[in-house]
Homo-oligomer: A and B are copies of this chain.
Amino acid sequence: MRQFTRREVCSGVGLIASPCLLSSCLSEKIISSPDKGKESDILWAYAPLDPDTTAERAYKYYYEGHCMYGVFKSIVSQLAELKGQPYDSFPFYMMRYGAGGVAGWGSLCGGLNGGAAVAGLFTKTEEQRRLLIDELFRWYEKTELPLYVPKKAKLKMEMARSVSNSILCHTSVSKWCKASGYRAFSDQHLERCACLTADMAKMTVEILNSNFQRQFIAAHSLSEEAKTCNFCHAKGGEREDSVTKMNCSACHFALGSGHGK
Contact = CB atoms under 8 A, between A and B. Distances in A.
A96 interface: yes
B91 A116 contact: no
A240 B184 contact: yes
A121 B106 contact: no
Nearest to A41: B93
B105 A246 contact: yes
Contact of A183 (B39, B106, B241): B241
B184 A93 contact: no
18 contacts: A39-B88, A40-B92, A42-B91, A94-B117, A94-B120, A94-B121, A97-B117, A97-B120, A102-B112, A102-B116, A102-B137, A103-B116, A103-B134, A105-B245, A106-B243, A106-B245, A183-B241, A185-B243
A133 interface: yes
Task: State how many copies of this chain the complex holds.
Answer: 2
A45 B240 CA distance: 43
B65 A174 contact: no
A195 interface: no
A178 interface: yes
Given A107-B246, A170-B242, A116 B97 contact: yes
A37 interface: no
